Amino acid sequence: MDNRYIVIFDGICIFCNAAVNFIIKRDKACVFLFTPIQSEFAQELLKKHQVYSTDIDTFALIKNEQCYIFSNAALEITKDLSGFWYLFTILKVIPAPIRDFFYKLFARNRYALLGKREQCMLPTEELKSRFIGL
């Protein structure tokens, strides 16, 4: 798993699940693995990186033994997607506190805007190998 990256996502968030599907479609090299934040595995990973689910509630990225959160996680993911998505890294010129303000604003309201599921999504048989800690 050294050359694989782990996306920790909110398994009941409709937007977060759509983001996972978006990543899967554009991850031609299959470098991303996914685990819901509600899993023990995700909680252990976050704890290892001294990030707690009370600090984040949307998603995080573990890449090369480094944990990215908020807008940095989203922008770091775009680097490894096929297509022009890497161009979004230009947004790093905007200071992280400003990017994260808008990220957190959306995150706080994502259930009200887009809804949530009663339980975490279950991957299809075809995608089960991309999910860990379920």
Select from 38, 31, 41 the least CA-distant residue to 1: 31
How far is the first Cα of the chain from the last one, in angstroms, to the nearest whole number? 17
Q: What is the pLDDT of residues 59-69, one digit of tens each?
A: 899 999 999 99
Each residue's pLDDT tens digit, 13-40: 889 989 999 999 999 999 999 999 989 9
Give the mean pLDDT of the chain.
89
Residue with tokens 């998505």: 85
CA dihedral 48→50→55→59, nearest 10 degrees, is: -40
- In this prediction the pTM is 0.89
Place of tokens 């230009």: 90
Quick one: CA dihedral 73, 1, 17, 120, positive or negative? negative
